[in-house]
Structure 1
Amino acid sequence: MSTLTNDEQLDSDNKTLETAVRNTAIQMGCWTATDDYLLITSILHLCDLERVHERVKFSMPFTLENIRDRWQCLLYDASISKMIITKIQQLSMLQLENLRIPFSEEEERLIATIPSHTIPAVLDNELDTCLSKYSQQFWSNRTIEELRECWSQLRQQGRLTDQSNADNSQVEQTTHSLNDQNATANKLSSLLAPFEFELLSRNKEQFVDKDKLPHALLHVHDHLYCMYTDQLNFGTDVNPDIKFDISFDNSTSIHIKGMIIYKSGLFYIINNGENAFRVNDALLNPNEASPLGTRAIINILEHTMVFQAIELS
């Protein structure tokens, strides 16, 4: 079987993106800002375009191809992505709160562990315990009402774990499938983080000190860091005497050290260690520096750090 060369693969990817951009341009007036927010948030949570197509209630019955094209443009076409995010930023928090995000397979699996014979008087307590215990697996805005509705539907369909017709093998298969998709989920999360940062950055009330706003935000392993100073140091934990602003666990013999500099309104990243790491998929070798722009994805060994500059009006 023949394989594509790097140039051929790049040419193929460019043609695919051109097709997606053309199709998205034709459909541009059909998508509302709430549609785009639902698309982005649902893909981040479900990590499955087909599941998004099947379960998300958009304002129109978009096809899977429509969804795939728009998603590709969001990721790889800067002009379309900027225009869409600008529209999303006009949404009020009330509009966002009222949108429903479908349950993921993992969420349903966790809810299904609550026995079918649970009486209504204690069901909410069981659901609340489940939500608290597995908060990392649930979408951040889940409510007890949503969980109760999901549990009732699973019970009616005979899909709770203790029900006689529950397919336990399917549950195990789902768990393995989710593990296999972990890398994809991390990639989606990393790519979506800049969008979340931009949404956050327009609300000054999110920051403790309203008079001194950060230069940038950094997202690492579900933690949000604010860069208030002109220099931020990061690296892998090696020497306890060396303190980093952001530290990464490291199980290898390869150690990374770098810094982000803010100077004259611009951001730069410097590799001041002995090993290379990647910035937007490009290798940054020791003693090299690179401009960051307004957003970037930085790969430190197996870790991903997402950088987003803050531009508040």
Structure 2
Amino acid sequence: MLAIRLFLFSLAATALAACGPKLKDLPEASFAPVYAPADKTAATATIRGAYREKEGLVNDSISGAYVAMVDGERPSRNHATDPVPLTPGPHSLTMRYWAVRDSFHLAVPFRLDAKPGASYVVRLEEGNLNVENYLGVDPTYYLYIVDETTDEIVSPKMPHLPQRATEFYVEPAAPDIATIRGTIEHGLDAYSAYVLAIDGRYIHTEPDSIFFDDGRNYEGAVALTPGRHALAIGIRNSNLYNALPVLIDIEPGASYVLRFEHGVKKSGEDKWQTFTVWLENEKTAAIVVPKTDMPIMRLPF
């Protein structure tokens, strides 16, 4: 069903691009910059992806996981297993994966408090097969981070879908708490920007349903304590699921809101359907997380 929706969405986006502005008249996309540690000499920790081969009755298969974004930026590398440098301290990351029975490779959020000199690796674990897998339901894929030196698991095992998690973020009940809320736009399609996870824990959602509705209140406010947090900003419409991981310093008693816009922009000689997201202080209108364009799809003309 999702594949059909993606096909229909691509047809509609192509039609809009063909009838829309010329390339020279489009605004320039501000995609996430290439990641580079602020202090390269202090970036003594690393994190890398990993893959594994699995023998099958007919064909062998390869699956694995890799680092997709670090603190709102895209790592530059030649291979998924190339180490990404990290400075010691907290980081907000998303990981992606590839697997034989899943072609969508969703972004999975994490918080990692990197230790000086540590080497980390992202691993993928496939849940047990059951009768649902043979009825077209994907198995659950779990991603997690391991310290390569000690072989210690240093993160929760995060399922690829929030609604399949068994442990969720627990909102605080304390003085001076702040809140972040999402927004949603209804129309021919429903677009939303929302809080996907905080500090490596998904915000609570309902279990799977046959309508692919996770029961989330996309406009709901989530409470946080003051201080530094790893925030995963979720963005979606009926065909798009993505996440922007950022580190944010939360002020006591502040109210934040996720804003977004979507449309067609250019990058070089290409047209892109984009989803632009940012975070602002609701009382002062100050932009806390700058506007970032997340690519939906490249348009053919």
Q: Same fold (TM over 0.5)?
A: no
Higher strand share: 2
**TM-score relative to the length of structure 1:** 0.26
Higher helix share: 1
